[in-house]
Structure 1
Amino acid sequence: MGKINQGILGGVSGQVGNVIGGTWKGIDYLRIKPSSVANPRTEGQVDQRSKFSTVLRFLQPMTDFLRVGFKLYANKMTQFNAAMSYNLNNAITGAYPSFAIDYANSLVTRGNLTGAVGGAASSPSAATVEVTWTDNSGSGSAMATDKALILLFNATRGESVFTTAGPVRTAGTESISVPSEYTGEDVEVFLAFISEDGSKVANSSYLGSVTVA
């Protein structure tokens, strides 16, 4: 900004063209008004915002679950933001304006504990989803006492049902009750494990989509 001494023009105030005049502590100044951005919504910006919204709709209903599932990756950020970062970079499919979540490549838990094997999901009875897995205790870092982390995501309603204190790895099965209103609707099923002391978490496994009986 340019300083103006008092003279035949006197002090300057207000705006003339793209020049704005004012007074600060008895000193008159001029500054140039910043140029406005002609198109703040560039193609890249719109594209990124659409991706962000897509991941946000997926993760918001499971915020409490993510506090457990991503707690080991919340370095200088929240667990939710850590999950957002991972899924933005790895779990988006499609093109604008039709982005979608690639569930097979998404993670709702993340860590280096040995994960689930032989996982499967079904709905054998009304308002119930049954999750099964093979006991792989002793393989890698898998322990018999690891507890199951199970999440069901209902994309139609933008809701999730989950447990962060499921049965131990050796149990091999768990039944999750869902609202009766889910009957006939699909839920996306995820399975992971957490160590007994909570210090280790496994990457989640996507078990597919199940239509609730």
Structure 2
Amino acid sequence: MAIIKNGVNGTVSGKAGSVVFVSTKTGNYVRSLPRVKKREPTPEQLLSRTRFKTMRSHISMLNPIITIGYKAYSYPKRAYDVAMSYNLNHALIQEENGFVVDWQKFMIAKGSPNPITSYTMDFDQENQVFLVTWEYDPYLEKKFDMGTYDSFLFLYNATYNGAEYPFLTNEAKNSLITGRQNIDIPKHKKQVTYEVYIFFVESYGGGNTDSMHLGNIKI
């Protein structure tokens, strides 16, 4: 922005459009702004952008869940930022054409250790119910006092592509010591592969466990 000093007959200083006004002891001058040459990004910069974009596409989609799963772990930082940082460093695999997510290492929640020691998954197609049952480590359950934590079962369609249901979770929540949790699955127009995760959340806010990847299921 150019500024006129001392009214319309005064000197002009500053920038206006593609020129800049300069005041010196010998007078006032108008100069063209220097042209800034746009540099092409280096291969390393392009690789870094691709890496960041790959992870951001998933973290942004999952932000409502990330906010719950990283709430205690990330404080006082934003859950989104901490989830991005963690998964960028732990859950990406570089391939010839870019990056892919390692869903087994991808974490939608961080907290105390997940106590599950074994589990089963079953999908009842007739009743459209997906069921997970588990056994847990009683030592961890007592150490972190998580017996009454609510189960958070989460199915994520990682290939989304405008699908009807990018993710699904349970409305009614059972506790860790119940050893089972189900989700009512709406009927899909076409088959979808979901990555399956589970973690446990303190009923009245506060702590939660790490998420655990249970595998994937086609529905």
Counterpart CA distance in 2 for 1:187 and 1:97 is 23
Give the 3-state SS of the residue equivalent to 1:123 in structure 2: strand
Q: TM-score, normalised by structure 1?
A: 0.77
User: Secondary structure of 1:122's partner?
Assistant: strand
Comparing 20-29 with 83-92, greater Cα deviation is found at 20-29
What is the distance in 2 between the residues matched to 1:191 and 1:145? Answer: 15
- Counterpart CA distance in 1 for 2:116 and 2:30 is 68
- The residue type equivalent to 1:52 in the other structure is F
* CA deviations over 1:129-167 (Å, ceiling 9, x no partner): 212211434533253211112110012325111248621
The residue number in structure 2 matching 1:42 is: 42
Match of 2:21 in 1: 22
Instruction: Decide whether the 8 Å contact of 1:147 with 1:168 is kept in 2.
Output: yes
| Structure 1 residue identity aligned to 2:115 | G
Match of 2:176 in 1: 169
Residue number in structure 1 paired with 2:147:
144
Task: Say which is worse superposed, 138-147 or 43-52, in terms of deviation.
Answer: 138-147
Q: 1:32 to 1:156 in 2, by over 3 A?
A: closer
Corresponding residue number in structure 1 for 2:106 = 106
Name the CA distance, whole Å, in 2 between partners of 1:182 and 1:56.
28
Tell me, yes or no, if the aligned pair for 1:119 and 1:132 is still in contact at 8 Å: yes
Q: What SS does structure 1 have at the residue aligned with 2:110?
A: coil
Which letter does structure 2 place at the counterpart of 1:194? V
The share of aligned pairs that are identical, in percent, is 20
Distance of 2:172 and 2:45 partners within structure 1: 40
* Equivalent residues of 1:123, 1:211 under 8 A apart: no
Aligned Cα root-mean-square deviation (Å):
3.3
**Alpha-carbon spacing, 1:12–1:189, altered in 2? closer, same or farther (3 Å):** closer
Q: Secondary structure at the match of 1:180?
A: coil
Label 1:110 to 1:27 Cα distance change in 2 as closer, same or farther (>3 A). farther
Aligned in 2, Cα 1:12/1:168: closer, same or farther, shift over 3 Å?
A: closer
Judging changes above 3 Å, is the alpha-carbon distance between structure 1 residues 30 and 88 closer, same or farther for their aligned structure 2 residues?
same
Which has the bigger relative contact order, CA under 8 A and spacing at least 6? 1
Aligned-pair distance for 1:35?
4.3
Structure 2 residue aligned with 1:130: 131
3-state DSSP of counterpart to 1:77: coil
Q: Is this contact kept in 2: 1:113–1:200, CA < 8 A?
A: no
Residues 66 and 22 of structure 1, relative CA distance in 2, 3 Å threshold: same
Deviation at 1:116, TM superposition (A): 2.4
Paired residues for 1:55-204 under 5 Å: 55-95=55-95, 97-126=97-126, 127-139=128-140, 140-157=143-160, 159-163=166-170, 166-181=173-188, 184-204=191-211
Instruction: Note the residue ranges of structure 1 that are not aligned, 5 or more in a row.
Output: 1-10, 15-19
Q: TM-score, normalised by structure 2?
A: 0.75
Q: How many residues align?
A: 198
Structure 1 residues 156 and 178, CA gap change in structure 2 (3 angstroms): farther
User: Which residue identity is paired with 1:199?
Assistant: G
Take 2:13 and 2:205, find their aligned partners in 1: how far apart are those partners? 66
Change (3 A) 1:35 1:113: same
SS in structure 2 opposite 1:103?
coil
Distance 1:176 1:182, change over 3 A: farther
Secondary structure of 1:197's counterpart equals coil
Alignment partners' CA distance in 1, 2:189 and 2:214:
18
The alpha-carbon deviation at position 73 of structure 1 amounts to 3.0
